[in-house]
Chains A and B, each alone.
Chain A
């Protein structure tokens, strides 16, 4: 998936800017309404618990039954960018009912949404360094 989002002011002050997309998928097909509801739920989680990636955006893709999380990250180095992404994934695990550690059933099924989710893949594009 080609994504080009050049930021005009990025990289001028020694910082590293990257755009990342996390693809969160259900292990089982879910109806459209549930995908919408979980998308709004994950947006709340991102707003409350992912302060390092402020402004993170969740959107639903009905064609692939995935939730896509857009992140615009500005950090000191590319490693710090990936640390921030890991922080976001951790927040989704703890508060969004996502189990990305295993491909089996989540151990937190009591607090998770009806269908289990996982971070299926991610993309990171360096915009400026």
Chain B
């Protein structure tokens, strides 16, 4: 093996490692000569949007509401899902228990109401008498959702109570 061949293999190995660590650090080090701090293995760094790539068009606004056709908004490519969730108001218990999951109900309509409240940052917990108690982010209300609806208009009435608590506002 010649020394030149050995050097080429080493260079190939180094470039592959730089690709794994992040293309941004390797490119900046090669172009302007300044050495950026090395990233730990597995660190993800978002690349800047390439020129000519159209911005992302979202069919939902930052609060998660569906937008009608023609009302779609363009968000910067760096605004990912994590940032939009952290911007939304959430109940203090949701902050304290980030891994908590919402209670589920067998009835499809009632479960949809609980899911709607949970997705909006409300805190939902099981209460007495087969009810799920839902609290808005400002903790100023309590809306009990029954496990089974008592009538055909239960969903509309519960939805009205949730909306007065700020759901969808």
Instruction: Name A's B-contacting residues (CB within 8 A).
Output: 1, 3, 5, 7, 19, 21, 35-36, 39-40, 43-44, 46-47, 54-63, 68, 70-72
Which of chain B's residues have a CB closer than 8 A to the CB of A36? 127, 133, 142
Nearest-CB distance from A112 to chain B (Å)?
20
Contact B144 A55, beta carbon cutoff 8 Å? no
- The 8 tightest CB contacts between A and B, nearest first, are A54-B151, A55-B151, A55-B153, A57-B157, A55-B154, A70-B157, A59-B161, A72-B153
Q: Which residue of B lies closest to A60 (CB)?
A: B142
Known: A55-B149, A55-B153. A61 touches B140 (CB 8 A): yes
Interface string of B139-167 (1 = CB under 8 A from A): 11111101001111111111111011100
Asked if B131 is at the interface of the complex by the 8 Å CB criterion, the answer is yes
B48 contacts the other chain (Cβ, under 8 Å)?
no
Complexed CA–CA distance, A30 and B142 (Å): 15
Of B128, B144, B165, the contact of A58 (CB 8 Å cutoff): B144
> Which DSSP category, helix, strand, loop or mixed, fits chain B's interface?
mixed
Q: In the complex, what distance in Å separates the CA atom of A71 from the CA atom of B158?
A: 10
Choose among B128, B140, B163, B165 the residue that contacts A40 (Cβ–Cβ < 8 A): B128
Contacting residues, chain B, for A59 (C-beta < 8 A)? 141-144, 161, 164-165
Whether A55 and B164, one on each chain, are in contact in the complex, defined by CB atoms closer than 8 angstroms, is: no
B97 part of interface (Cβ distance < 8 Å): no
CA distance A71 to B160 in the complex (A): 9
Contact B156 A55 (CB under 8 A): yes
Complex alpha-carbon distance, A56 and B160, angstroms: 11
Is B161's CB under 8 angstroms from A70's CB?
yes
Can you report 12 A-B residue pairs in the complex whose CB atoms are below 8 A from each other? A1-B164, A3-B163, A36-B142, A40-B131, A55-B157, A59-B161, A59-B164, A61-B141, A62-B142, A68-B164, A70-B157, A70-B158
Instruction: Check A3–B140 contact: CB distance below 8 A.
Output: no
CA of A5 to CA of B155, assembled, Å? 12
Q: Which of B131, B154, B159 has the most CB of A within 10 A?
A: B154
Pair B142/A55 contact, Cβ less than 8 Å: no
B30, CB-defined interface residue at 8 Å: no
